[in-house]
Structure formats: structure tokens, C-alpha cells
């Protein structure tokens, strides 16, 4: 985990934390830059000129001082972590979808619900008997069956 200003190469990153005053964090959230969002760095910081990132379909110029308050983790760093089914993740933990296994119709249905590769998800709640599981992804809540969660292979995001 390092600040966005300290990264040395272009690539895909996950926002792990945003440090700063509440109005600063709120302003970034209005632009779509929130914790657990995916961010692609197009141009790295050079001579305090700022960097350019691709976020949710738009390019975003970020100054050096602003970038130093945004903590990120490279998505490739997560490749070293063990892949496990989403059903085994604990409540409150965040993870990144690595792949979806199973029959083609099941995979397609899960992807239609927004569960695609490199999507950050968080387990919000689990029903008393373990089925269904409530997730938060892409800014909305989604409930899926435990059997479906077994098809979703994830890597835990360590915060």
C-alpha cells in the first residue's frame, strides 16, 4: 500500500484509503473516487505536474498534493494472495473478483448482476442460516445464494 503520488508505473490500482478532512473526502466521493474503487493510472506524477487517471469512464487530473492523500494498492499485488470462494469470506471483509467458475448460464447471470473480474465487493451481512449473503458492489447492495457465492473466486483486499 502506497500513496498515489509515490507510484512509479502506470497500471490498475484499488483505492484503499483516503486521508484528509471530511470535506476533502466528500469532494473526492462526489467525483467518484471512493475507497474500494478501481483506478487506472495513465500518466504518473512528474515534476509536480500531476498525474492522469482513468476512473469510471472519465479521465481525471490529480495534483501531487492531492495524490499524496490517496492510498492505493496495485491490483497485480493481489495475485500473490490465495484465491478462495466468496462464500468463505468473513462479514465486513472486502475482496476483488478474480474469476467466476461454473456452468455458462450461471456465469453469465452473475456477470449480468455486476460481478465481473477486478470488481471490488464487500460482504455486508449473512442470513442466520448462512443463506443468502448480502454484498455491496459498485455502490449498490446485492443478495446472492451461498451456492452462487461458491462460484465466485476472490482475493481478499487487506486493509
My answer on whether 104 and 145 are in the same domain is: yes
Predicted confidence (pLDDT) at residue 144 exceeds the cutoff of 60: yes
76, 107, 132 - which closes a domain: 76
Average pLDDT over the chain, rounded to an integer: 85
My answer on whether 71 and 119 are in the same domain is: no
Reading the block at residue 94, the C-alpha cell is: 472486502
My answer on whether 68 and 94 are in the same domain is: no
Predicted confidence (pLDDT) at residue 93 exceeds the cutoff of 60: yes
CATH number, domain at 85?
A: 2.30.30.90
Predicted confidence (pLDDT) at residue 17 exceeds the cutoff of 60: yes
Cα gap 95→86, rounded to integer Å: 8
Taken as a whole, the chain contains a residue count of 159
Range of the domain at 14: 2-76
Cα gap 152→159, rounded to integer Å: 21
Total count of domains within the chain: 2
- Of 4-18, 76-90, 94-108, 133-147, the one with minimum mean pLDDT is 76-90
Report if pTM > 0.95: no
Who has greater pLDDT, 22 or 76? 22
My answer on whether 10 and 47 are in the same domain is: yes
Amino acid at each position: 500500500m502506497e500513496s498515489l503520488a509515490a507510484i512509479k508505473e502506470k497500471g490498475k490500482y484499488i483505492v484503499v484509503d483516503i486521508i484528509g478532512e471530511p470535506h476533502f473526502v466528500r469532494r473526492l466521493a462526489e467525483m467518484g473516487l471512493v475507497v474500494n474503487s478501481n483506478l487506472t493510472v495513465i500518466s504518473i506524477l512528474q515534476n509536480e505536474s500531476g498525474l492522469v487517471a482513468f476512473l469510471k469512464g472519465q479521465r481525471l487530473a490529480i495534483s501531487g498534493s492531492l495524490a499524496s492523500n490517496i492510498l492505493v494498492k496495485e491490483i497485480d499485488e493481489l495475485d500473490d494472495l490465495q484465491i478462495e470462494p466468496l462464500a468463505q469470506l468473513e462479514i465486513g471483509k472486502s475482496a476483488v473478483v478474480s474469476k467466476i467458475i461454473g456452468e455458462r448460464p450461471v456465469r453469465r447471470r452473475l456477470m449480468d448482476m455486476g460481478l465481473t473480474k477486478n470488481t471490488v465487493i464487500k460482504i455486508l451481512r449473512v442470513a442466520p442460516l448462512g443463506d443468502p449473503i448480502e454484498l455491496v458492489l459498485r455502490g449498490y447492495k446485492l443478495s446472492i445464494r451461498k451456492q452462487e457465492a461458491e462460484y465466485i473466486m476472490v482475493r481478499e483486499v487487506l486493509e
